């Protein structure tokens, strides 16, 4: 599966904002979540120098139908408590603007990830953007974990 960084590398990386996003990275995140399509980046579609990027992205970004995850697992023995997932998870950020949303330890109980005794604990997993009616294929926590401690099954 594609990662945000892989997608970003194939975009023009000019932050021209023609897509309506403030940066190409923001566009990459939305592209991975299928909130936008490859065709929503005008330079990518129109400029010859981005043609190979356009073609690669078009084949990488397939419909979201394949999501069958039902649970989130943190492999404790792999987690080093770095906190990357704590500040990367959009649910943590949205539910705890003063803590996780500011790059700090959570101050709210509504977060999904919180480091306790050096290991991340997952709770409120039903809030994860991979589940529920309007689910998206979020990979923010998986992508930022240096030890691949987070898995969806
Ligand atoms: S239109 Fe394309 S190049 Fe411009 S900011 Fe958006 S993603 Fe980046
Ligand atoms: S996949 Fe779920 S738990 Fe992981 S960052 Fe996204 S919303 Fe958070
Ligand atoms: S990003 Fe990975 S290693 Fe870091 S706290 Fe989260 S689960 Fe643990």
The pairs formed by 36-39 with CB atoms below 8 angstroms and a separation of 24 or more are: 37/61
pLDDT of amino acid 69: 53
pLDDT bucket at 25, cuts 50 / 70 / 90: very high
Handedness of CA 63, 66, 69, 72 (dihedral sign): negative
Domain ranges, ordered by start, for the chain: 4-62, 72-152
Question: Closest residue (by CA) to atom 1 of ligand 2?
Answer: 138
Report whether residue 142 contacts ligand 3, using a CB cutoff of 6 Å: no
Pairing of strands 119-122, 113-116: antiparallel
CATH of domain 4-62: 1.10.15.40
What CATH number matches the domain at 72-152, 3.40.630.10, 3.40.640.10, 3.30.70.20, 3.30.2310.20? 3.30.70.20
Report whether residue 111 contacts ligand 3, using a CB cutoff of 6 Å: no
- Closest ligand 2 atom to residue 125 Cα is 3
Listed range (58-67, 84-93, 104-113) with the worst mean pLDDT: 58-67
Asked whether the beta carbons of 13 and 43 are under 8 A apart, the reply is no
């Amino acid at each position: 599966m594609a990662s945000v960084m892989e997608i970003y590398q194939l975009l023009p990386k000019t932050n021209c904002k023609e897509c309506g996003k403030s940066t190409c990275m923001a566009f990459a995140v939305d592209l991975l979540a299928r909130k936008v399509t490859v065709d929503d980046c005008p330079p990518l579609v129109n400029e010859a120098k981005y043609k190979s990027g356009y073609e690669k992205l078009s084949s990488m970004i397939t419909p979201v139908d394949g999501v069958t995850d039902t649970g989130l697992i943190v492999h404790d023995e792999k987690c080093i408590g770095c906190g990357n997932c704590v500040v990367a998870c959009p649910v943590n950020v949205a539910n705890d603007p003063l803590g996780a949303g500011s790059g700090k330890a959570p101050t709210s109980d509504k977060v999904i990830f919180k480091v306790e005794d050096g290991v991340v604990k997952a709770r409120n997993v039903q809030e994860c953007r991979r589940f529920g009616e309007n689910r998206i294929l979020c990979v923010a926590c998986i992508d930022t974990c240096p030890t691949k401690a987070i898995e969806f099954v």
